[in-house]
Amino acid sequence: MKRPTVVVLGAGYGGLSVVTKLQKLVNPDDMDIILVNKNDYHYETTWLHEASAGTMHHDKVRYDIDGVINKGKVNFVKATVENIDTKAQKVITDRSEIAYDYLVVGLGFEGETFGIPGLKEHAFSIANIKAARQIRDHIEYQFSTYSLEETKDPSRLTIVVGGAGFTGIEFLGELADRVPELCEEYDIDPKAVRVLCVEAAPMVLPGFDKELVDYAVSYLESKGIEFSIGTPVVEATPEGVKIKKGEDTFEEIKAQTVVWAAGVRGNPIIEKAGFENMRARIKVDADLRAPGHNNVFIVGDCALMINPENDRPYPPTAQIAMQQGAHTAHNLVALAKGDELEPFSPDLKGTVCSLGEKEAIGEVFGRKITGKQAAFMKKVIDNRALYIIGGPGLVFKKGKLNVL
């Protein structure tokens, strides 16, 4: 019998977890495994706020895919996926078409703009390495230009962060560390800098523990960060943003840097390929297959799963993406053998939100943690992700070893 071809799209947390687990479970004769990714590197999406603020170099955030795959078992193809033809069972990329027997889609997320005018054109999104590098350079350029100008333009030193979810808050934490460094480097009075977070909901980190949220807000405020709460961004312009302050009251904030961190949607390929979807995410079956597609699995941020405890979608996280990836590897082996597939259920260990290098808040195994203890835990979690994919070697190479 012909051995099946498994094609995995995306070398993020989900896709790379599938491949690195699968290569441990199968022999080269069992199946052909093809991994497709647009870059020849994987990046730690969960560290992109650090690269964006400039508190960590972007090279530290990425590593070569070749270094973590077994080339005797996995064929890596560097290509950009352009579409999926589920009827013909093939993936269309910018380089070639790739036929599959089983497909795993792990193409990640895009920033959600909710159709708000001007955001796509005038705001940055912490989306990938290239975007992070551009945000870092843009902010630094504003500081250097301000220092040079005769007539000082305060909007150069105004940074607006749209959204006080986990991404927004983690980025603000990095800015709290980075802005004093930039001020020193460019001889700028820190009082001239304004970092403002604009949140639509009535609270920061909506739905998270209030005591921990209060801790985060008072820490960030002590570092000079301002919050405008319950005031949605309604437009972005070349000059900044417009926010809604009341029924018919709006305020325009002049800012040369607007970073949009107000939620995510799945990869647009999901919509293009014609899968039934909600904001480019597929509501998957219990075994993570796309409904009506018995040979297509979805992992990570392209998958939508409902938490039966509250009837709401699980938030898209790396934690879940990695668990889905490992689970799917086992199910692919089962499928190839003709065995029953196992349903997936996430094992949620908690959430830790960093506030720069030395501060954080979190709830881990039901316990609330703050400060240095939480910052330590965040680094342990970050290193654990490296360990699961690439073992101790990758932790030594890329890990956050300054954990204390």
Q: Which residues are catalytic?
A: 170
For ligand NAD, the binding residues in 232-291 under the rule CB under 6 A are 232-233, 261-264
Q: In angstroms, rounded to a whole number, what is the distance separating the alpha carbons of residues 261 and 86?
A: 33
Q: What is the largest CA-CA distance in the chain?
A: 76
Q: Taking CB under 6 A as the rule, does residue 157 contact ligand NAD?
A: no
Tokens of 18: 């599938």
**Residue 64, beta-bridge partner list:** 41
Strands of 45-155 (E only): list them.
62-64, 74-78, 81-85, 90-93, 97-99, 102-105, 109-111, 124-125
Out of 315, 330, 371, 380, point to the residue binding ligand NAD (CB under 6 A).
315
Choose the contact partner of 193 out of ligand NAD, ligand FAD, none; CB within 5 to 8 A by kind.
none
Out of 54, 108, 162, 399, point to the residue binding ligand FAD (CB under 6 A).
108
Q: In angstroms, rounded to a whole number, what is the distance separating the alpha carbons of residues 263 and 124?
A: 13
Nearer to ligand NAD, 79 or 234 (CB): 234
Choose the contact partner of 12 out of ligand FAD, ligand NAD, none; CB within 5 to 8 A by kind.
ligand FAD
Tokens of 87: 């009827």
Q: Taking CB under 6 A as the rule, does residue 10 contact ligand FAD?
A: yes
The one segment of 78-86, 325-333, 346-354, 366-374 that binds ligand NAD by CB under 6 A: 346-354
Out of 167, 256, 323, 383, point to the residue binding ligand FAD (CB under 6 A).
167
Alpha carbon distances (Å) from 362 to 213, 214, 276, 368: 10, 12, 35, 6
Q: What is the DSSP letter of 358?
A: S
Q: Nearest distance from residue 223's CB to ligand NAD, in Å?
A: 18
Please answer whether residues 36 and 91 qualify as being in contact, where contact means their C-beta atoms are separated by less than 8 angstroms: yes
Q: Taking CB under 6 A as the rule, does residue 388 contact ligand NAD?
A: no
Q: In angstroms, rounded to a whole number, what is the distance separating the alpha carbons of residues 126 and 114?
A: 16
Q: Taking CB under 6 A as the rule, does residue 318 contact ligand FAD?
A: yes
Q: In angstroms, rounded to a whole number, what is the distance separating the alpha carbons of residues 109 and 128?
A: 10
Q: Nearest distance from residue 289's CB to ligand FAD, in Å?
A: 16
Secondary structure class of 3 (helix, strand, coil) = coil
Q: Taking CB under 6 A as the rule, does residue 324 contact ligand FAD?
A: no
Q: Taking CB under 6 A as the rule, does residue 323 contact ligand NAD?
A: no
Binding mask 35-74 for ligand FAD (x = CB under 6 A): -xxxx--x--xx-xx-------------------------
Choose the contact partner of 168 out of ligand NAD, ligand FAD, none; CB within 5 to 8 A by kind.
ligand NAD
For residue 100, give the nearest of 112, 117, 111, 87 by alpha carbon.
87
Return residues touching ligand FAD (CB under 6 A): 10-15, 36-39, 42, 45-46, 48-49, 80-81, 106-109, 126, 128, 167, 170, 267, 269, 300-301, 316-319, 321
